[in-house]
Chains A and B, each alone.
Chain A
Amino acid sequence: MSAVKYTRDHEWVKVEGNIATVGITDFAVQELGDLVYVELPVIGDEVRAGERLAAVESVKAASDVFAPVSGEVVEANEALEDEAGLLNESPMDEAWIARIEMNDPKELDALMDRAEYDEFVKEASH
């Protein structure tokens, strides 16, 4: 498995072969507070990098989750439909949101590694 990559919208991507598993970061979850609902993408949908993939809702507000890469949605984490709170417990692992079969793995090159993301978060919160 390759290293985890990060977007400026606080999504993470883990890649295995041609499949990208997507979620939202620990930092994002901490900012959002208690998550109460996740609107999952529809399997079979084509998404483009930067487009809305899903939505996560805290008690206070709804936030969009954007597709970090282009491709076809091949799986969605249905466990989140009944237990959005899983996002608060395990945002980087169990609470992945969707899997995308990538059209263009080169898109990954535009994303950040963890050190870059941490730096980005640090700057953004100043």
Chain B
Amino acid sequence: MLELRKTPLYEAHVEAGGRIVDFGGWALPVQYTSILEEHRAVRERAGLFDVSHMGEIHLTGPDAMAFIQHLVTNDCSQMQVHQIVYSPMCYADGGVVDDILIYRIGDDDYWLVVNASNTDKDYDWISGNASGYDVTVRNISAQVAQIAIQGPSAQTILQKNTSCDLDSIKFFWCQPETTVAGRKCLLSRTGYTGEDGFEIYCKPEDARHIWDALLESGKADGLTPAGLGARDSLRFEAALPLYGHEISQDISPLQGNLGFFVKLGKSEFIGREALAAQKEHGLTSRVVGLELAGRGVPREGYPVMAADQQIGRITSGMFSPTFNKGLAMALISTEHARPGTELAIDIRGKAVPATVIKTPFYKKAYRKE
């Protein structure tokens, strides 16, 4: 058996009774006590996540911005220093390499934060497309740990541990030169839960100190460590796409409801022609939300049916902890994608009625003022 990779917080998870699973080659806790409790803690108070497995790719050089504009579908030309932009990054055929966060650290200094399981692929893709650009590409993932604190009480708790005025960090902005619990870190108001919150990037050797300090000072406000199970159920309710599910090499960002992040008005980027053609000819299939009318739990891969014909499949599905019912995101043929359309999900051979509904299921509680 392959040795699983461990984050600098592995020992903390084991000590806290976390149930460790193999997550794309990483040993990470799927839960500590209960996915439902951890999910509710984040919606109502705050949760602390170890997301050190995420990858970071550092771009520097005078052509860094031009290169990023070539790589990603979103328009980064108006990005200011300390601003963050979310974007799909596509292949020439419009399939998705990954969806990433772009941090502008300095004038010619950017971090791309990528999905853990895509880090090596992304690094190869990015460096393989860099010829002709005066840019240096470095995979710094092993030198960066990441902790997310998420939920309505996240700011209150984090503020006790930093001299940085958190009100000064707006949604999708960062402060690269600050400290948490006395250790150097980069702070951003970002996350993957649909709640307000922050992500803390630090050195691996400082991660345990910051983790322990936050948990200790957050006790009074109900901060709880939360595992991958809650991370998935939280992002799912907020209809935040997960690579390999709602977007992939075979599911374009337009199909995955990320059209807002595809700026076809940009003069050039990888995948532009293919995505422009998709938009012009109309999508044959796209991702929608489904609400189960009957009993049961929709799961990834289950067929979606219209009048006994399979018209798609579920990309992510679960029993929603917030709404207490089965919800799903599904890639289905566009003709059935209108909200209100009555469909069925094949659950173990039984057709369970389901209705197309608008996403997100959970209205995101971001602080965007």
Residues of A close to B348: CB separation below 8 A: 39, 55, 62
- Does B176 touch A at the CB level, under 8 Å? no
Question: A33 touching B297 by the CB < 8 A rule?
Answer: no
- Cα of A59 to Cα of B36 in the assembled complex, Å: 8
Question: A62 touching B299 by the CB < 8 A rule?
Answer: yes
Question: A57 touching B319 by the CB < 8 A rule?
Answer: yes
1/0 per residue, CB under 8 A from A, across B12-53: the answer is 000000010000000000110011100100000000000000
Closest residue of A by beta carbon distance from B318: A59
Interface residues of A in 2-56 (CB under 8 A from B): 33-34, 36-37, 39, 55
* Nearest CB on B from A90, distance (A): 16
- Does A60 touch B at the CB level, under 8 Å? yes
- Cα of A37 to Cα of B352 in the assembled complex, Å: 14
Question: A59 touching B295 by the CB < 8 A rule?
Answer: no
- Cα of A59 to Cα of B348 in the assembled complex, Å: 17
- Cα of A37 to Cα of B36 in the assembled complex, Å: 13
Residues of A close to B34: CB separation below 8 A: 33-34
Known: A59-B229, A59-B233, A60-B30. Is A39-B36 also a contact (CB below 8 A)? no
- Cα of A58 to Cα of B326 in the assembled complex, Å: 12
- Does A81 touch B at the CB level, under 8 Å? yes
- Cα of A86 to Cα of B31 in the assembled complex, Å: 20
Q: How many residues of A contact B (CB 8 A)?
A: 13
1/0 per residue, CB under 8 A from A, across B280-316: the answer is 0000000000000001110100000000000000000
Interface size class of B (residues with CB under 8 A): 10 to 19
- Cα of A39 to Cα of B295 in the assembled complex, Å: 8
- Cα of A22 to Cα of B210 in the assembled complex, Å: 48
- Does B204 touch A at the CB level, under 8 Å? no
Known: A33-B31, A37-B319, A39-B348. Is A62-B229 also a contact (CB below 8 A)? no
Question: A37 touching B229 by the CB < 8 A rule?
Answer: no
Q: CB < 8 Å: which of B35, B295, B318, B321 contacts A33?
A: B35
Residues of B close to A60: CB separation below 8 A: 30, 35, 229, 318
Question: A81 touching B295 by the CB < 8 A rule?
Answer: yes
Closest residue of B by beta carbon distance from A81: B295
Residues of B close to A59: CB separation below 8 A: 35-36, 39, 229, 233, 318-319, 321
Residues of B close to A33: CB separation below 8 A: 19, 31, 34-35, 229
Residues of B close to A61: CB separation below 8 A: 299
Residues of B close to A55: CB separation below 8 A: 348
Residues of B close to A62: CB separation below 8 A: 297, 299, 348
Residues of A close to B318: CB separation below 8 A: 59-60
* Nearest CB on B from A78, distance (A): 12
Known: A59-B229, A59-B319. Is A37-B296 also a contact (CB below 8 A)? yes
- Cα of A36 to Cα of B19 in the assembled complex, Å: 19
1/0 per residue, CB under 8 A from A, across B324-348: the answer is 0010000000000000000000001
- Cα of A60 to Cα of B36 in the assembled complex, Å: 10
Closest residue of B by beta carbon distance from A88: B34
Known: A55-B348, A59-B318. Is A37-B297 also a contact (CB below 8 A)? yes
- Cα of A68 to Cα of B321 in the assembled complex, Å: 32
Question: B319 touching A36 by the CB < 8 A rule?
Answer: yes
Question: A39 touching B296 by the CB < 8 A rule?
Answer: yes
* Nearest CB on B from A122, distance (A): 18
- Cα of A61 to Cα of B19 in the assembled complex, Å: 15
- Cα of A61 to Cα of B299 in the assembled complex, Å: 8
- Cα of A36 to Cα of B34 in the assembled complex, Å: 12
Closest residue of B by beta carbon distance from A82: B295
Residues of B close to A37: CB separation below 8 A: 295-297, 319, 326
Residues of B close to A34: CB separation below 8 A: 34-36
Residues of A close to B39: CB separation below 8 A: 59
Residues of A close to B297: CB separation below 8 A: 36-37, 57, 62
- The list of the 10 closest CB pairs from A to B, nearest first, reads A36-B319, A59-B35, A34-B36, A57-B297, A37-B297, A34-B34, A34-B35, A60-B229, A37-B319, A62-B299
Interface residue ranges, B against A (CB under 8 Å): 19, 30-31, 34-36, 39, 229, 233, 295-297, 299, 318-319, 321, 326, 348
Can you name 29 A-B pairs with beta carbons within 8 Å? A33-B19, A33-B31, A33-B34, A33-B35, A33-B229, A34-B34, A34-B35, A34-B36, A36-B297, A37-B297, A37-B319, A37-B326, A39-B295, A39-B296, A55-B348, A57-B296, A57-B319, A59-B35, A59-B39, A59-B229, A59-B318, A60-B35, A60-B229, A60-B318, A61-B299, A62-B297, A62-B299, A62-B348, A81-B295
